[in-house]
Amino acid sequence: MVPTPKVIIDQDSDPDATVVEITFGDRLGALLDTMNALKSLGLNVTKANVYLDSSGKHNKFCITKASTGRKVEEPELLEAIRLTIINNLLEFHPESSSQLAMGATFGAEPPKETVDVDIATRIRVHDDGPDRSLLYVETADHPGLLVELVKTITDINVAVESGEFDTEGLLAKAKFHVSYKGKALIKPLQQVLANSLRYYLRRPTTEEASF
């Protein structure tokens, strides 16, 4: 059995750094090529720790921008981090190709199954205190998804504060803290946000040319 590759981009757990976690069963090596590829994006990358559990070996990195020493905030750069890691997985572990959505475009072997976006897409919004709400999105993965989600949210004047973006095989799972004018989203705006995301994600075609 080929394990499910997972890439987690965590903006919540460390106030000063973006934490990235990579898991692919027990098949990951030292990931030096991945670290070097991330450094070429203008990032400082330090290996935080490695731990084992029933799902495999988890490799954690702390990432900051070399120019500022601060965590990465730009969605475009966060997406570049995600795609760089996935491209390295596809290059150094070609067997991951059949397990990743990107394998259909960039890998040696496309996934044997495809994800029905209508079935896979789940969106939930609920309050997370008086000043912000928590948005959960689960959908079929594709290149550029993180950037497009943030753009769809901000296009309706909802602010994205922080969150976590997980690539789990063919699926992407996002958790964003969001607010409107410094407050949690009222119910009608929660519905507008959910409808906007659902409309975007279920469009029959997705622009991928720039990725």
What dihedral angle (degrees, nearest 10) is formed by the CA atoms of 181, 175, 79, 58? 150
- For 130-182, write each residue's pLDDT tens digit: 999 999 999 999 999 999 999 999 999 999 988 999 999 999 999 999 999 99
Distance CA 121, CA 191 (A): 15
Pair 170, 140: CB distance under 8 Å:
yes
Instruction: Name the CATH code of domain 117-202 (choices 3.40.640.10, 3.30.70.260, 3.40.190.10, 1.10.150.120).
Output: 3.30.70.260
- Check if CATH label 3.30.70.260 holds for domain 6-106: yes
Letter string b/e over residues 155-178, b meaning 16 or more CB atoms within 10 A of that residue's CB: eeebebebbbbbbbbbbbbbbbbb
Residue of 66, 45, 59, 48 whose CA lies nearest to 8: 59
Q: How far is residue 143 from each of residues 81, 105, 146, 168, measured CA to CA in Å? A: 12, 9, 8, 14
Taking the C-alpha atoms of residue 168 and residue 185, their distance in angstroms, rounded to an integer, is 28
CATH 3.30.70.260 domain span(s) along the chain: 6-106, 117-202
Beta bridge partners of 180: 183
Check residues 117 and 5 and name the one with the higher pLDDT: 5
Residue 116 clears pLDDT 60, i.e. is over it? yes
pLDDT digits (tens, 9 = 90+) for 7-53: 999 999 999 999 999 999 888 887 999 999 999 999 999 987 888 88
AA identity, residue 69: G
